[in-house]
Structure 1
């Protein structure tokens, strides 16, 4: 019974050892492909190793390197963050934070990359590469913030220009409306004047029509006046004749 137990334990240890050798072999194969510049093939080998042993430090870290080399910076950042949060040595975690900072830098996430480099230096204070990259990330962050500020100022200027143009357009529209209103008022004034003239024409006295009887009476009156006038003239003429006659006689 004891012999069977010893054999089973030995077989189990052999299986574990073979499994460890298998995942390590896959990582080594991935490293070979990586060194030859075959990053996609290296990725395949690293993923195989992680399928055999999920969370395997070397497999995860090196897969992050392969993704970074293929410019998949978002994926590489996730892998390095996973390593940094795992239970590993300070040196391993410092390396993971450093690579995380590099991935974030490529994504222009300078503020986040600064924190990653700081975490790396907390674990490995003498890392000159981390110090250099930290300073560079701070410089890029300042440039980014300055650029955003300039863009905001340019946007404000554009908005002011648009507002000025809108005000100018409104003023032009108002002038046009005033001109149109003046024209309408003038047209209305002319129309009123024409109407007034027409009314005055309508109000001018028209020749009155008289009846035939009235006309006859007026004619008779004129004749009577003429008769009276003629009689008066004849009287005056008679007086004048007498005077002259009297003078001749003597």
Structure 2
């Protein structure tokens, strides 16, 4: 029994010693963190904001819950125009700060960082939170009025741009509709012209066919055509008929020759002899 009590006593002493050492280490780290913050503040006063940021980050490495290091890091980043990186540091300070004054300052600086980024709605919200924690801060109230005015202007500009875009879309839609209607009209006109041409061609073709048909059906024309056609050839002459025809032609030719000779003899002048 005594032996068990002795073992328990040893364990208690061991854990107590470890806790004491941890507390000593924690105090040492806190002291180191405060020392780094003071060094960072000196660099900040010298406007060496980058070096000050490094010092504050080292301080947070030794004590992550060191609110002053967090807030001062945000200020150093802000002064270096790293507005986007500064905002999370201020937000952490606003969440962990125990007094309203520190919370109000953190929200005020969030508003300033948002204004630098032209994010007017978040800026307005931050200034309002600052005034909730410190209603008597005239600087925050002034900044809120400026941010609200810029926000209203932005909203109006966005509204005008939206109306302009809608108008442009409507104009383009009307223009496209007009072009489409014009194309359809041209298409219908071309189709109508084509149909009229086809009808005309069909009409001309039909008229010509009727004319040819009437021509073929005209009885007078057919009779005339029949008269102009050569008559059928008569049957061949017999040898006797051919002989008689030749004798007749021969006799006619002799009579004609005799008449011609008589006519020549009658008309010939008589040659006279001269009497000296």
TM-score range for the pair, normalised by the shorter chain length: 0.7 to 0.9
Per the alignment, residue 156 of structure 2 pairs with 146
Over 3 Å counting, the alpha-carbon distance change for 1:86 and 1:10 in structure 2 is closer
Per the alignment, residue 52 of structure 1 pairs with 62
- Give the TM-score of the pair, scaled to structure 2: 0.66
TM-superposed deviation, 1:7: 9.5
1:131-170 alignment, distance < 5 Å: 131-170=141-180
Rounded Cα–Cα distance in structure 2 between residues aligned with 1:70 and 1:196: 96
1:76-155 alignment, distance < 5 Å: 76-155=86-165
* Gap runs ≥5 in structure 1: 217-250
Query: Which one is further off, 175-184 or 46-55?
Result: 175-184
Rounded Cα–Cα distance in structure 2 between residues aligned with 1:147 and 1:115: 20
Name the Cα RMSD after superposition. Answer: 3.0
TM-superposed deviation, 1:171: 2.5
Query: Which one is further off, 130-139 or 65-74?
Result: 65-74
Rounded Cα–Cα distance in structure 1 between residues aligned with 2:212 and 2:43: 112
Count how many residue pairs are aligned between Structure 1 and Structure 2.
212
Over 3 Å counting, the alpha-carbon distance change for 1:199 and 1:9 in structure 2 is closer
Query: Which one is further off, 152-161 or 108-117?
Result: 108-117
Rounded Cα–Cα distance in structure 1 between residues aligned with 2:104 and 2:137: 9
TM-superposed deviation, 1:30: 2.2
Over 3 Å counting, the alpha-carbon distance change for 1:66 and 1:87 in structure 2 is closer
* Gap runs ≥5 in structure 2: 1-12, 233-276
TM-superposed deviation, 1:14: 5.3
Cα deviation 1:183-226 (Å, max 9, x = unaligned) = 2123212321232134224424347687xxxx66xxxxxxxxxx
Cα deviation 1:47-104 (Å, max 9, x = unaligned) = 1111111121011111111222333323222221111111421111111111111122
Per the alignment, residue 215 of structure 2 pairs with 205
- Give the TM-score of the pair, scaled to structure 1: 0.73
Per the alignment, residue 41 of structure 1 pairs with 51
Rounded Cα–Cα distance in structure 1 between residues aligned with 2:96 and 2:197: 89
TM-superposed deviation, 1:9: 8.6
Rounded Cα–Cα distance in structure 2 between residues aligned with 1:201 and 1:26: 119
Residues 124 and 144, structure 2, Cα contact 8 Å, conserved in 1: yes
Over 3 Å counting, the alpha-carbon distance change for 1:198 and 1:8 in structure 2 is closer
Rounded Cα–Cα distance in structure 1 between residues aligned with 2:116 and 2:49: 18
Per the alignment, residue 24 of structure 1 pairs with 34
